[in-house]
Chain A
Amino acid sequence: MRSVVIVVIAAAVLSVASRRASAYPQYQLSRDQTCSSCHLSPSGGGLLGENGYSVAETLSQYGTAPEFMYNKLPLPRWLAVGGDLRGATGYIANPDGGFALFPMQSDLYVHAAYKGFSLHVTAGGRPAQWITLNGTPGVFDRLWSREHYVMWQQDASGHDGLFVRAGRFMPVFGLRFAEHPIYTRRYGGTELYADTYGAAVEYITQTWEAHLTGFIEDPLIDPITHDNGAAAYGEVRLNPQLQVGGELMVTSSDGHSRVRGGATAKLYLPDADTLIQAELQVAHLQATGGHSPNQIIGYVMGSKFLGSALLLDVGFGHFDENVAISGLDRDAIDVNLHWFVTSHFELVVQSRLEGLGVLQSDGGPTGGWALLHGHYRL
């Protein structure tokens, strides 16, 4: 029976272990210069463009037709449709251990464009809100639209230039790692389902890009975060293998406010076909009552492309909840191995070792997981 509990909780907690992982920042610099080169969204993620399809085919072990439904259902040029289905199984120990098997994602994307204007909608499953101990959520309690926005782009047929969008989407901030348990996402202002209503002005070139987003607490549903604020992110590619960036986010919520500032960097080593990327944030929280802790959130990841269809990530994360108080830091070591089997199907072995004060003499691992994650892109 205990294993049943673990499985249930695993489904509730780890079913999101890498949801919305359709964007791979590992590809930037190593395979192309910008996210928008491969994705329709200026911030990356979700639907692929023609170049993205080409990359998906090229990088897979058994390249299949990369288009939606293997191009068996041809679409007009003004319409793009896609989707992501994910599930995972494996072992979790944090600190109890047990087997887990759970769905992760079921999203459908629709993008309709007319000249420079476009409408994007993501619809799919969501975790139902708790009702009561014996309550059963209805079908509509399990469905939602995580993203929906209208966008205008300066170059209707290109990937660069000015983009303006309004609607519901994730504020653009930092490196936008795919796996949301990564500390710079979980504790860094872009946790899972932090998508909310806002407006963004974004400018992208091959050598630099800038994103400015203003956002509000979602007034329509019970949201993940209750923040109102603004986020700014910019990056400069000093050369085709090196990029540095800066980030700033200011939020206020329910009597407290927070300022996050940080830096990002990416370095691609072509001889080793390896990308190193890092993000460091310093956050200042103005809590109710006047106490104002400063926090440090960091993550560094090395990604090695092994042949044409394998990608190995090794990452290290650090989060210090309050730098003035000892013993409030935690660390995580992640090792992920991606196998791009076909243009549409990917297998990932994901593992994490997480603990309190791993770098301290009295610290030690306190949990983690090892999961086999399957991802099918429609």
Chain B
Amino acid sequence: MKRLVLIGALFAAACGATDDRPRTLAYITETILEPTCASAQCHSAFKRAVGDQFDTLEATRESIVVNGLVVYPDDVARPTGSLLFRTLTVGGPSILDPGSGNVRMPYDAPMPDADVELIRAWIEEGAKGAQCLRNAAGHGCSVTRDAMNQPVFHVIECSPDGIAGAIVQDCPKTSTSTSVCTISSGNGQCVP
């Protein structure tokens, strides 16, 4: 929470400050996530800790969408509530040991507040590039959250560069089971 307050103060103090860096997933990946997060034992292709990989644009897109780090469109309205932003500020729930508390990232080196703000602004502007995921052709997948904050999967129209289109199909969800959207042969489809 203290870090959130600090970042809030940064927003206030930064009014008028010049940070003209591109608010794009490619830039954020190449200049922030890859050097900060994709180290040997963490989120490189070599390790892929907790299934997240941030060393290429495609890998970052997949990690953000599949692992729900930014849920489109829900998190666009409130970027500070996204798992990605919270993990960088106050910490997110531990995946390695669920229920044990929050873990803040990056673990081994602090991330400057201006970088966190750039990521927040990118989410606020639509999280372009990581709204959805698809392979070379066809439909893609997206994830939203229901009233209980549980993931709901959809098959959607998705451009190759991660821009979401219309929902084609909501993956069925019952009280006992949830089907998920997966990419197969370039097409998103619901799989029980």
A residues near B (Cβ < 8 Å) are 1-2, 4-5, 8-9, 12-16, 94-96, 127, 129-130, 132-133, 180-181, 186-187, 191-193, 221-226, 254-256, 285, 287-289, 291, 293, 321-322, 325-330, 354-356, 366-367
Whether B100 and A288, one on each chain, are in contact in the complex, defined by CB atoms closer than 8 angstroms, is no
B residues 60-112 with Cβ under 8 Å of A? 94-97, 99-101, 103-104, 107-110, 112
Whether A356 and B112, one on each chain, are in contact in the complex, defined by CB atoms closer than 8 angstroms, is yes
Contacts of A13 in B (CB 8 A): 39, 41-42, 107-108
Query: When the two chains form the complex, which single residue of B39, B47, B113 contacts A130, counting CB atoms closer than 8 Å?
Result: B47
Whether B104 and A255, one on each chain, are in contact in the complex, defined by CB atoms closer than 8 angstroms, is no
Q: How near does chain B come to A286, taking the closest CB pair, in angstroms? A: 9
Query: When the two chains form the complex, which single residue of B40, B51, B103, B113 contacts A127, counting CB atoms closer than 8 Å?
Result: B40
- Cα distance A94–B106 in the bound complex, in angstroms: 9
Whether B101 and A2, one on each chain, are in contact in the complex, defined by CB atoms closer than 8 angstroms, is yes
Contacts of B167 in A (CB 8 A): none
Number of residues on chain B facing chain A (CB within 8 A): 46
Contacts of A127 in B (CB 8 A): 40-41, 46-47
B residues near A (Cβ < 8 Å) are 10, 17-19, 21-22, 24, 26-27, 30-32, 35, 38-42, 44-51, 55-57, 94-97, 99-101, 103-104, 107-110, 112-115
Whether A133 and B95, one on each chain, are in contact in the complex, defined by CB atoms closer than 8 angstroms, is yes
Whether B100 and A2, one on each chain, are in contact in the complex, defined by CB atoms closer than 8 angstroms, is yes
Whether B22 and A291, one on each chain, are in contact in the complex, defined by CB atoms closer than 8 angstroms, is yes
Given contacts A16-B40, A223-B45, contact A327 B31 (CB under 8 A): no
6 residue pairs, one from A and one from B, having the closest CB atoms: A222-B45, A288-B26, A130-B48, A192-B40, A1-B100, A366-B110
Q: Is the interface of A mostly helix, strand, loop or mixed?
A: loop
A-B CB contact pairs (8 Å), 8 listed: A12-B47, A15-B41, A16-B40, A129-B46, A224-B46, A254-B57, A321-B31, A326-B17
Q: Which of A15, A193, A327 counts the most chain B CB atoms within 10 A?
A: A327
Q: Which of B17, B40, B97, B113 counts the most chain A CB atoms within 10 A?
A: B40
Whether B39 and A289, one on each chain, are in contact in the complex, defined by CB atoms closer than 8 angstroms, is no
Q: How near does chain B come to A352, taking the closest CB pair, in angstroms? A: 10
Query: When the two chains form the complex, which single residue of B46, B51, B103 contacts A222, counting CB atoms closer than 8 Å?
Result: B46
Whether B47 and A325, one on each chain, are in contact in the complex, defined by CB atoms closer than 8 angstroms, is no
Contacts of B35 in A (CB 8 A): 187, 321
Query: When the two chains form the complex, which single residue of B26, B38, B108, B113 contacts A327, counting CB atoms closer than 8 Å?
Result: B113
- Cα distance A15–B39 in the bound complex, in angstroms: 12
Nearest B residue to A8 via CB reads: B96
